[in-house]
């Protein structure tokens, strides 16, 4: 698939699914409009696209603000060209799930505006030009991964039937399909249980484990090893010095000496694989083992740097 000469506008492009989509679309030749609330993450993705030889523009905007959406689409159209593909990925959930009569009305409305008004405003801004040209595509998508169960690799998409058929064929070509059991179980769960109540119980647990892992890393890691502070998901992303190969370090040192493992980060790069990255999960490890494992990793990293 080649997207040479196409312009894609990706919302929520600073992190997560939006970031990966932006990089993948750029890898296929599309010029990318990166839209999100915060300038910093967008600029980081912009640098990644540019480093790989792609074209992009970063446009901070609030998708619930009609004037900001209009200005963002105008900026992308001016700098890159008319939008051929809108990927509406930005989404939000309430800060503190609650029963309807206990919910904060302003918080509830913020979620409604982001998840409903936002996609509408974006489509409202790009569709007239698409209709006038007789071409263009709009895709809304998200994922149940991490919010329902850690290994629930199940996403959702809303698009016209032709695009959904093509996405389905691509999915079949990539890995046949998601587990039918997982799809049926997710459907039954959403019909029978309150996913917001589940998240209300799970989020404080994961937040504690994330903070414990980050605090232990700050206390034990060398200064030239960097790590993210994630605001979602179950993982921390590590950046080692460029001369440290994460796969070799884990196989030769970390596993034999500490029985600690991480996921080497090279395969997460869609274009040029970088060996000095890794991903660590904090979700399923008891606190004492988490502290012990991260402390051992820090000790061995200090030894590796000497």
Query: Is residue 151 a part of any domain in this protein?
Result: no
Show which of 143, 177, 209 is a domain's final residue. Answer: 143
Query: Is residue 103 a part of any domain in this protein?
Result: yes
Pair (139, 209) in one structural domain: no
| DSSP, res 251 | I
For residue 124, give its domain range.
7-143
Pair (209, 128) in one structural domain: no
Residue 191, token pair as written in the block: 């019909």
Pair (238, 131) in one structural domain: no
Full-prediction pTM beyond 0.75?
Answer: no
CATH (domain of 281): 3.90.1150.10
* 134/106 Cα distance (integer angstroms): 40
Query: Is residue 166 a part of any domain in this protein?
Result: no
CATH (domain of 28): 3.40.50.720
pLDDT in tens, the chain (306 residues): 578 889 999 998 888 778 888 998 998 899 999 999 889 899 999 999 999 899 999 999 988 889 999 999 999 999 999 999 999 876 665 555 556 677 777 777 777 777 778 888 999 999 999 999 998 988 887 777 666 665 667 777 777 787 777 777 766 666 656 677 777 888 888 888 888 888 888 888 999 999 999 999 999 999 999 999 988 788 999 999 999 999 999 999 999 999 898 999 988 887 778 899 999 999 888 999 999 999 999 999 998 766
Indicate the burial class of 265 (C-beta count within 10 angstroms; 0-12, 13-18, 19 or more): buried
Pair (133, 209) in one structural domain: no
In 176-234, which residue ranges form alpha helices assigned H by DSSP? 180-192, 195-220
Query: Is residue 46 a part of any domain in this protein?
Result: yes
* 197/187 Cα distance (integer angstroms): 17
Show which of 110, 143, 176 is a domain's final residue. Answer: 143
Query: Is residue 191 a part of any domain in this protein?
Result: no
Specify the number of domains making up the chain: 2
* 8/80 Cα distance (integer angstroms): 9
Please name the residues in contact with 202: beta carbons below 8 A apart, sequence gap of 6 or more: none
């Amino acid at each position: 698939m080649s997207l040479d000469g196409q312009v894609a506008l990706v919302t929520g492009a600073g992190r997560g699914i939006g970031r990966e989509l932006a990089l993948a679309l750029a890898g296929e030749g599309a010029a990318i409009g990166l839209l999100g609330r915060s300038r910093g993450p967008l600029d980081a993705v912009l640098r990644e696209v540019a480093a790989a030889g792609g074209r992009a523009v970063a446009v901070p905007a609030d998708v619930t603000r009609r004037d900001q959406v209009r200005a963002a689409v105008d900026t992308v159209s001016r700098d890159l060209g008319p939008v051929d593909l809108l990927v509406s990925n930005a989404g939000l959930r309430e800060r503190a799930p609650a029963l309807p009569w206990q919910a904060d009305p302003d918080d509830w409305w913020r979620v409604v505006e982001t998840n409903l008004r936002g996609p509408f405003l974006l489509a409202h801004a790009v569709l007239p030009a698409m209709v006038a040209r007789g071409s263009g595509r709009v895709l809304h998508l998200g994922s149940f991964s991490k919010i329902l169960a850690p290994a629930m690799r199940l996403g959702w998409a809303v698009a016209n039937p032709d695009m959904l058929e093509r996405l389905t064929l691509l999915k079949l070509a990539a890995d046949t399909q998601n587990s039918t059991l997982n799809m049926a179980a997710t459907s039954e769960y959403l019909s029978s249980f309150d996913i917001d109540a589940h998240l209300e119980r799970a989020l404080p647990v994961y937040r504690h484990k994330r903070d414990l892992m980050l605090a232990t890393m700050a206390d034990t890691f060398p200064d030239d090893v960097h790590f993210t502070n994630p605001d979602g998901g179950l993982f921390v992303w590590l950046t080692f010095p460029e001369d440290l190969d994460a796969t070799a370090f884990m196989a030769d040192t970390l596993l034999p000496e500490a029985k600690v493992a991480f996921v080497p980060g090279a395969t997460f790069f869609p274009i040029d694989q970088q060996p000095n990255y890794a991903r660590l999960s904090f979700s399923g490890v008891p606190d004492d083992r988490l502290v012990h494992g991260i402390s051992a990793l820090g000790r061995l990293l200090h030894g590796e740097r000497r």
